[in-house]
């Protein structure tokens, strides 16, 4: 088991490139692009809608699974309670949470002491 990798940054879209580099360094897998897309979606939502000022990311390699925890100090929002919209429809917005739902085996949200904590477990391997 690998140690937990941590990345903390100001909640600004200018930090997304550094976020992508961190994810690429710690999620060596066929699903790497989808993992980056899903985490970026969660982070952008925290910035844009949650008014977060700080975001923390933890990635733990559990062997066959990545455990990813994204936390922010924004407005309480539980993406696991949102119904994902049908994929493939032409429209603006709404795909990100569907991607998060599609690639993760487990999604849990907790709002505790003024922070959102979203835990995702994503199995490694083939793009299925």
Residue 49 CA: distances (Å) to CA of 23, 41, 73: 23, 11, 12
Residues 6 or more apart whose CB falls under 8 angstroms from that of 62 comprise 1
Q: Are 95 and 82 in contact (CB under 8 A)?
A: no
| Strand order across the 5-10 sheet | 5-10, 54-61, 65-72, 115-123, 106-112
Cβ of 22: how many Cβ atoms within 10 Å?
19
- Hey, what are 96's tokens? 């990100």
What does pTM read for this prediction? Answer: 0.88
Domain assignment present for residue 32? The answer is yes
Residue 43: predicted pLDDT: 96
Residue 3: predicted pLDDT: 83
Tens of pLDDT, residue by residue, the chain (128 residues): 678 999 999 999 999 999 999 999 999 888 999 999 999 999 999 999 999 999 999 999 999 999 999 999 999 988 877 665 555 554 455 667 788 888 999 999 999 999 999 999 999 987 65
Residue 95: predicted pLDDT: 66
Domain assignment present for residue 128? The answer is no
Q: In CATH, what number is assigned to the domain containing residue 61?
A: 3.30.565.10
Domains identified in the chain, total number: 1
Domain range for 24 is 5-123
Residue 125: predicted pLDDT: 82
């Amino acid at each position: 088991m690998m140690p937990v990798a941590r990345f903390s940054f100001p909640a600004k879209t200018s930090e997304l490139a550094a976020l992508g580099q961190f994810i690429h360094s710690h999620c060596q897998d066929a699903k790497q692009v989808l993992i980056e897309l899903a985490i970026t979606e969660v982070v952008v939502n925290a910035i844009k809608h949650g008014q977060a000022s700080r975001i923390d990311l933890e990635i733990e390699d559990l062997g066959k699974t990545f455990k990813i925890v994204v936390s922010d100090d924004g407005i309480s929002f539980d993406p696991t309670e949102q119904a994902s919209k049908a994929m493939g429809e032409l429209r603006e917005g709404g795909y990100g949470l569907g991607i998060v739902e599609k690639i993760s085996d487990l999604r849990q949200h907790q709002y505790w002491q003024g922070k959102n904590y979203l835990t995702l477990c994503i199995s490694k391997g083939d793009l299925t």
